[in-house]
Amino acid sequence: MEKAAIEIDAFLEAVVRDHTIALDNGAPNDDLLYNLLKFQKQDASSAFSIDKDSIKGVILNMFFDGTDTTSSVLEWTMAALIKHPDIMRKLQNEVRDVGRGRLTITGDDVEKMHYLKAVVKESMRIYTPLPLLVAREAMQDVKVMGYDIKAGTQVLINAWAVATDLAVWDNPEEFSPERFLNNPIDYKGLHFDFIPFGAGRRGCPGIQYAMAINELALANLVHIFDFALPDGKRLEDLDMTSETGMTLHKKSPLLAIATPRL
């Protein structure tokens, strides 16, 4: 662990150093790191200044938070699709119709795939990638809906419980992407029935990044491959048990046979 931490820190140091040199030479690119470095230069004496370790922490979060939750969403979605072959066929029909005659699906193609987007939303509803959103701390005594919350109290929001609440969702344990078709509910924090990325000023800043990766990866997988369970296993044998942790992972990894069709 110590060796890995040293190597990661050295990598982040090199990335920050290269960006700092480019910025000093007047040749920056408009990416997150350059903007953080510009903010650091402009506001060094401000109460909201940011140091190099904080910048490295932000970049590290972009790498690890994005990859961990994205891989989790993709695995759960593929498992749900394999377990529901009728939904898989419907999704493949849409994706393959849009991508007809081409090997890969593009981001522009994904924007035409309404059922694909519904599938990803439904997967994130049932298998919420971060069931308990990042903890917040009350900065002062406050009363919320009749409850007294003291300053310093850690507050957690159970996003999974919200997304599977019987008072809000019909048959909440059923995997049904159709519930999101012709439905304004989205994941951007404007509808509090569905908040996989949180909401408000403290919502996840990487929503678009994460969803673009999830949707594009899923579209290409179902476009290029057909999937089946190995060793003659039945659909009911597919274990959908989750493992406890900050991120919702399958207890047993998804094992499937991918057969190229192109």
User: 189 has which bridge partners?
Assistant: none
Q: How is residue 43 written in tokens?
A: 């506001």
Closest C-alpha to 58, from 32, 40, 23: 32
Whether the Cβ atoms of residue 257 and residue 225 lie closer than 8 Å to each other: no
Was 204 annotated as part of a binding site? yes
Closest C-alpha to 172, from 236, 127, 215, 238: 127
Q: How is residue 111 written in tokens?
A: 């924007």
d(CA 46, CA 92): 53
Q: Do β-strands 154-155 and 249-250 pair in parallel, antiparallel, or remain unpaired? A: unpaired
Task: State whether residue 1 is helix, strand or coil.
Answer: coil
How far from chain centre, in Å, is Cα 37?
A: 26
Binding residues for heme: 204
Binding residues: 204
